[in-house]
Every structure is written in structure tokens, then in C-alpha cells.
């Protein structure tokens, strides 16, 4: 029986984790649930899974939740201390990092400090502070198992092979909803168009990141840190069918791919039950119906966020945290119709352009860069 703490339990990843937990009550037990302020869903989850405690963002949400679940005996915590407790609760074996954005970083570090194994969906954690996180995890002997489907695929393609035989990683991308939209029509893109992903069902922020290809850029950095690979050896390739979740090539010309239908439950189940594979009832890809797999190079002119992310990742230091923070501000502004789709890369680029990079940052430098970049990006949004 594995005890879980699920950070971001009300999100797209979090709810899929709970679906798997429900399928295997003899294998998993939920000890902690944490979200931001979706009180109604969290209350339902508390009633269904009876955790030791639950955590929300602020005191107001905590009071509301307490009223909602009164009589359940489940303690409610809030704020940074609450998330830290969620990440380090002694009975927990594995922490699922499924919060969105920079909010994931401090709880993941707390989980590593507490010696928990980690199933990581929150790519922003590694983008912001990959060196610090991986070093700490290495020192503690902690395994970080990827939930991102591409990283789960790479992890599987690397298994059983010698790292020194690896040639490169092909990180696949669906291309998002605007793969075939001409650049001169990008000015008309509305949030609801960008949310409408052709192959994956995801949360708001990651859906917009997928539409700009920033998501792929963040994933390149995530893969670099997780697998200790230089970004020069990670190539993004567009594969609109989203069946090949990524590939690894070797010195002898072999290419190993991992495939499955585009549904996060496969990667989630593998991360939380590794090395066991669970019978989650996932159908196989219908190869005859799919007919053909296609591949193409990404169009950096249409999707400048991908180039910005490669640039930030190759420069390193505090620049990836600045890119990440500026992107979070820009995506939120786009969702609130304050800026256009094409303004997103502009806000990110201008913010990056004003930053003096600290090459070997401490955690405090990264957090300062994050705060600074949010202020500068807000200025760009106007």
C-alpha cells in the first residue's frame, strides 16, 4: 500500500491520479489532498478519500472548506506552511506534484528534504530550479518519476540501455490547435480557440502553453534536467497524431519510441506504480484507423516561444525562471483578454531582454528573479 500526497488534486492531472487510486484501493491510499481554491471539488474529494488533512491557498478558502466538510474530522491547513506540511507528512511515501506553475517549486523541495519519492507533473519546478532540485534529489537518493507523457516516454526508452550509447532525444509535439493556421490569422486567436487542443484534455495554463509551443520549450528544459542531457541533444519534432510520446536514438542508428493513446492516465499510472504496470483499461492505439504517422519540423516563426525557451535553457542561470514567470503573467493576461495571442512571446522576450542573468543562482536568487520578472511582465501587459 503506497501512501500519497496529491498537490493539485483538483486539476486535470490531480483528478486523473484520483481515478487511478479509485481503481486500485488495495495499492494506494490518499493521505493528503491540496488545491488552491476549488472548495466544492476538494470537499467532494475529502468525502470520497478521507485524507489525514487537506490544504488550500488562504485562510478564507480554509474556513469555507471547514464549513463544507464539518463533521468529517479532516483537518484543514492553508498557505505555504500548509503546502510544506502536505509535502512532508511523515506517513506519505510519494508526493504527486500536480500543481500548476511556480507554486510547485517550494513544496517539491520540501518533499525532497523530507525524503519522499516524487511523481512530477509540475514541469515549472525543473524549469525554474532544475539544477538545485536534481542536485538535492541526487544527494538524498530520491527518485523523481516523470508524469509528463513525453518524459515518461523518454524514461521508458532509456530503460535498459547504457546512457553512454544514447545519441539524442526526439521530443514529440502535437503542434497544438494552430499547427496549420497561417501566421496572418494569428491576430484573431481567442482564448477559447487556444483552449481547444486537438488531442489532449488539459488545464488552462498548459493548454495555452501547448498552443504557443511554450509547453514544448518548458519540456525541453525539463528533459535536460531530468535525464542530464544537453539541450543540443534534444530535438523537438511535430507529430500531430500524438501517439508516439517521444523517442530516443542510439549510436547504432536504432530509434526507440514509446506509444499509447493521448491520455495522461498511462503516464500517471506508470509514475505512481513504477516499476509495475497497472491494468488501467487503457485501449491500444487503433493503428488501422490512424493510418499514418507524420512528422515535421516546428515553425519557429509562427511559434517564437519555442526558440525563447531553448535560448533561456541554453543560457541557464536565472533566465529560465524569468521566462517562466513572464510566461505565466502573459498567459493569464491572454486568458483575461488583456493581451493578444501574439503578445505572449513579446511579453516574454521583452522581459528576458531586461534581465541581468545570475549564472549560478541560489534558490533565493531564483525566487527574486521570479518576482522581478512578474513585475516587468505586468508592465509590458500594461
Residues forming contacts to ligand NAP in the complex (CB under 6 A) are 8-14, 35-38, 57, 98-100, 103, 121-124, 148, 200, 202-206, 264
Coil/strand/helix, residue 256 = strand
Burial status of residue 291 (CB atoms within 10 A of its CB: 0-12, 13-18, 19 or more):
exposed
Q: State the minimum distance, in angstroms, from the CB of residue 182 to ligand NAP.
A: 27
Closer to ligand NAP by Cβ: residue 146 or 166: 146
Q: Which residue, judged by CB position, is nearest to ligand NAP in the bound state?
A: 11
Shortest Cβ 191–ligand NAP spacing (Å): 14
Least distance in angstroms from the C-beta of 322 to ligand NAP: 18
Q: Which triple of cell numbers denotes residue 133?
A: 532540485
Question: What's the closest the beta carbon of residue 253 comes to ligand NAP, in angstroms?
Answer: 30
The continuous run of DSSP H or E covering 257 comes out as: strand 255-259
Which residue's CB is nearer to ligand NAP, number 8 or number 316? 8
List alpha helices for the chain, DSSP H: 12-23, 39-49, 59-68, 79-88, 105-113, 123-140, 149-158, 191-194, 204-212, 214-227, 265-273, 287-290, 304-315, 319-335, 343-353, 363-381
Q: Which is nearer to ligand NAP, 122 or 318 (CB)?
A: 122
Q: Looking at beta carbons only, is 224 or 249 nearer to ligand NAP?
A: 224
Question: Contact at 8 Å (CB) between 241 and 228?
Answer: no
Nearer to ligand NAP, 201 or 254 (CB): 201
- Residue 77, class by beta-carbon neighbours within 10 Å (0-12 exposed, 13-18 middle, 19+ buried)? middle
How far is residue 283's CA from residue 260's CA, in Å, rounded to a whole number? 8
The nearest distance, CB 381 to ligand NAP, in angstroms, is 19
Amino acid at each position: 500500500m503506497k501512501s500519497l500526497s496529491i498537490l493539485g488534486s483538483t486539476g486535470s492531472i490531480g483528478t486523473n491520479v484520483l481515478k487511478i487510486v479509485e481503481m486500485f484501493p488495495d495499492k494506494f491510499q490518499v493521505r493528503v489532498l491540496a488545491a488552491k481554491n476549488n472548495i466544492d471539488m476538494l470537499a467532494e474529494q475529502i468525502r470520497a478519500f478521507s485524507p489525514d488533512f487537506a490544504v488550500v491557498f488562504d485562510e478564507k478558502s480554509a474556513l469555507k472548506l471547514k464549513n463544507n466538510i464539518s463533521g468529517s474530522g479532516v483537518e484543514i491547513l492553508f498557505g505555504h506552511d500548509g503546502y510544506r506540511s502536505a509535502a512532508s507528512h511523515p506517513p506519505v511515501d510519494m508526493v504527486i506534484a500536480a500543481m500548476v506553475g511556480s507554486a510547485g517549486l517550494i513544496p517539491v523541495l520540501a518533499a525532497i528534504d523530507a525524503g519522499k519519492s516524487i511523481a512530477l507533473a509540475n514541469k515549472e519546478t525543473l524549469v525554474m530550479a532544475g539544477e538545485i532540485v536534481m542536485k538535492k534529489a541526487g544527494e538524498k537518493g530520491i527518485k523523481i518519476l516523470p508524469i509528463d507523457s513525453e518524459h515518461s516516454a523518454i524514461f521508458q526508452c532509456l530503460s535498459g540501455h547504457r546512457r553512454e550509447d544514447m545519441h539524442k532525444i526526439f521530443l514529440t509535439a502535437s503542434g497544438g490547435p494552430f499547427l496549420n493556421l497561417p501566421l496572418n490569422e494569428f491576430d484573431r486567436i481567442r482564448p477559447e480557440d487556444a483552449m481547444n487542443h486537438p488531442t489532449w484534455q488539459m488545464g488552462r495554463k498548459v493548454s495555452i502553453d501547448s498552443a504557443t509551443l511554450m509547453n514544448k520549450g518548458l519540456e525541453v528544459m525539463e528533459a535536460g534536467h531530468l535525464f542530464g542531457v544537453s539541450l543540443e541533444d534534444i530535438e523537438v519534432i511535430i507529430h500531430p497524431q500524438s501517439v508516439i510520446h517521444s523517442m530516443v536514438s542510439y549510436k547504432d542508428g536504432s530509434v526507440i519510441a514509446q506509444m499509447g493513446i493521448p491520455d495522461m492516465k498511462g503516464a500517471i499510472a506508470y509514475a505512481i506504480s513504477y516499476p509495475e504496470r497497472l491494468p488501467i483499461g487503457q485501449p491500444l492505439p487503433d493503428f488501422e484507423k490512424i493510418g499514418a504517422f507524420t512528422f515535421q519540423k516546428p515553425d519557429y516563426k509562427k511559434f517564437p516561444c519555442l526558440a525563447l525557451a531553448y535560448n533561456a535553457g541554453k543560457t541557464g542561470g536565472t533566465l529560465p525562471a524569468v521566462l517562466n514567470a513572464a510566461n505565466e503573467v502573459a498567459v493569464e493576461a491572454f486568458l483575461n483578454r488583456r493581451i493578444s495571442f501574439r503578445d505572449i512571446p513579446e511579453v516574454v522576450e521583452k522581459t528576458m531582454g531586461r534581465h541581468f542573468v545570475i549564472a549560478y543562482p541560489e534558490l533565493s536568487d531564483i525566487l527574486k528573479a521570479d518576482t522581478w520578472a512578474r513585475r516587468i511582465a505586468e508592465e509590458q501587459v500594461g
